[in-house]
Structure 1
Amino acid sequence: MKKILVPTDFSQEAENALKVAAQIAKKHGSEIYLLHMLEIPMQEIDAVNSHVEVPEVMFFMKMAHKKFEEIMESDYLKDITVHEIVKPEASFNNVTDICHEQGAEIIIMGSHGASGFKEMFVGSNAEKVVRMSDIPVLVIKNEHEEFSIDDLVFASDFKNDSKETYRQASEFATAFGAKVHLLMVNTAGNFTTTKNAKERINTFIEDYSFKNYTINIYNDDSVEKGILNFSKDIDADLIGISTHGRQGIAHFFNGSISEDLVNHANRPVITFKI
């Protein structure tokens, strides 16, 4: 985890993510690539009127650089190598391309999500990144004075096409010294016996040497509620889920979450692409 990409719009949520990235960078000797994307549709610039539009772009570029300079004065970034990236034509859909250009191994970003997984991701900038990213995306909602991971919930259906995500999750857990709680959620519409569920999970993980885990089958009204309720029960530090690329994660969840689950979604979430 030597290179971390942090998209920023200079909001409080983005700074929360940057502070987490800074803690990880100090622990692992990582470099941070701080990315700001100007919300200016360059393709709409009219060549005839470019004398008006281009200076506007330059103005916003300078403003972004000024913001970067202010951030770099923050105490929490002391002794960390931070690279400034400003992209006037970028969108959240091609953050992954920028990530590959820089060789980043993880994306850490903030979310404005108000409640639950669905509200946290669907239609948000975080969801756009998750949908396209083929590297892990760590989504932060709140400020963490001390970001540590002792218990990581890895929720999956434990079918063969998800095995790559477990490899990523176990490597991430190893880096943080965390225990992984393998979780399969049973619902009335998609029920598996405990015996069959455990057999599926054991078959799923048999090729991996990672041993610091527990196996859990949890019954609930929906997969989403099951993940959130189980995570609350064990007071998990992080929730890990698999994604299916262009489908995003909206297909993973059905229905809404009741108000009593809102605060549980404040836990950080990391996604791994199948």
Structure 2
Amino acid sequence: MKRILVPCDFSHSAIQAYKFAIEMAAASGGEVIMVRIIDLTPLYVDSLNVNPYYLHVSSVRNDLEEDAWSDFEKLQQVVDSKNVKVTFVTAQGTVCQTLLNQIRQQEADLVVMGTNGVHGLKEFLIGSNTEKMVQCAPVPVFVIHRAQSISSIKNIIFPTEIDLSQNMVIDKIKKLQVFFGAQLHLLYIKTPINAAATGELAMNLHDMAHFYSLSDYSVHIREQNNVEEGIIKFATEKGQSIIAMGTHGNEGLNHFMTGSIAESVANHGLETLWTCSVGAQQ
């Protein structure tokens, strides 16, 4: 968590993400790179009308860059940077591809981004940029829905299956647990199609925790019709929490049909979410 990239459009949720990133950088001795993306390609909105900005309109781009720098300077005046090094850059392009490019160019090892979620027809048609980053980012992503201080985080909720092939994700979650000084909660959502006994599932989770040498953890089995709803409900009840999830970044028809639970939690939950692609190399 030495180089933290924060995509920022200066919305309320993005500013909350920036504050969270500043706190994390201050605690870890890291730095923050804030990226303002200027997307001039036609953008379809709810009404399916086309945004009047088009690619290669230099005057529009220059105006937006000036506005971005002005907004950044105002933000610096009202948010304490806690002596953290903050670099501000602007980049032109579509949001997700530009962010992926910036992760590589800035050698970022963490992304912190704010979201208000996307619902209804818009979610079905185009999804949210946050959801897409959860799906394809090569580094871990924090999704921030509302203001949260890192000192308030006492619990890390890890929704999981009984799976002994999660070494990379769990190693990273262990580091998060040390960083926050938090208790780890292994959460298994038992849906109606799962006939396994609750006691058996709990025993298997304890065995899995022993396999991974987990410490300061607890095991929870919750019955719910929907896995996503079960995760969100448990996190809301627990409070002072973040949710930590691995994601396979489903693509193509499989993603269209089933989606990703992590992406759905990012869109519909209110608790801070940390995700890591199981294929990530960092």
Q: What runs of 5+ residues in structure 2 fail to find an aligned partner? A: 43-53
Q: Say whether residues 1:251 and 2:259 are aligned partners.
A: yes
Residue 101 of structure 1, CA deviation: 2.4
Instruction: Label 1:251 to 1:161 Cα distance change in 2 as closer, same or farther (>3 A).
Output: farther
Q: Say whether residues 1:99 and 2:103 are aligned partners.
A: yes
Residue 192 of structure 1, CA deviation: 2.6
Q: Say whether residues 1:227 and 2:231 are aligned partners.
A: yes
Residue 90 of structure 1, CA deviation: 4.5
> If the length of structure 2 is used for normalisation, what is the TM-score?
0.79
In 2, the alpha carbon distance for the partners of 1:240 and 1:146 equals 15
Q: Deviations over 1:55-76 (max 9, x none)?
A: 3322222222222222222342
In 2, the alpha carbon distance for the partners of 1:151 and 1:131 equals 24
Percentage identity across paired residues of the two chains = 26
Please state which structure has a larger fraction of its residues in helix.
Answer: 1
Q: What runs of 5+ residues in structure 1 fail to find an aligned partner? A: 43-49
In 1, the alpha carbon distance for the partners of 2:240 and 2:13 equals 21
- More displaced, 71-80 or 126-135? 71-80
Question: Match for 1:211 among 199, 215, 223?
Answer: 215
SS in 2 for 1:269: strand
In 1, the alpha carbon distance for the partners of 2:171 and 2:272 equals 19
Query: What is aligned with 2:47?
Result: none
- More displaced, 142-151 or 209-218? 142-151
Instruction: Label 1:134 to 1:198 Cα distance change in 2 as closer, same or farther (>3 A).
Output: farther
Calculate the aligned-residue CA RMSD, in Å.
3.0
Query: What is aligned with 2:277?
Result: 273
In 1, the alpha carbon distance for the partners of 2:101 and 2:200 equals 40
Could you tell me which amino acid in structure 1 is paired with residue 39 of structure 2?
E
In 2, the alpha carbon distance for the partners of 1:233 and 1:112 equals 20
Q: Deviations over 1:88-140 (max 9, x none)?
A: 1252244233223222221111111278xxx7xx8111101111113221111
Structure 1 residues 1-274: aligned runs within 5 Å: 1-41=1-41, 53-113=57-117, 123-144=127-148, 147-247=151-251, 251-253=259-261, 265-274=269-278
SS in 2 for 1:77: coil
Could you tell me which amino acid in structure 1 is paired with residue 7 of structure 2?
P
Residue 145 of structure 1, CA deviation: 5.4
Could you tell me which amino acid in structure 1 is paired with residue 259 of structure 2?
H
Query: What is aligned with 1:45?
Result: none
Instruction: Label 1:123 to 1:155 Cα distance change in 2 as closer, same or farther (>3 A).
Output: same
In 2, the alpha carbon distance for the partners of 1:203 and 1:94 equals 42
Aligned length: 255
**Contact 1:41–1:89 (CA<8 Å) still a contact in 2?**
yes
Residue 20 of structure 1, CA deviation: 1.1
SS in 1 for 2:201: helix
In 2, the alpha carbon distance for the partners of 1:164 and 1:77 equals 32
Which portions of structure 1, spanning 4 or more consecutive aligned residues, are displaced by more than 6 angstroms? Answer: none
In 2, the alpha carbon distance for the partners of 1:60 and 1:71 equals 16
In 2, the alpha carbon distance for the partners of 1:229 and 1:141 equals 16
Residue 201 of structure 1, CA deviation: 2.8
**Contact 1:134–1:245 (CA<8 Å) still a contact in 2?**
no
**Contact 1:160–1:204 (CA<8 Å) still a contact in 2?**
yes
In 2, the alpha carbon distance for the partners of 1:223 and 1:53 equals 46
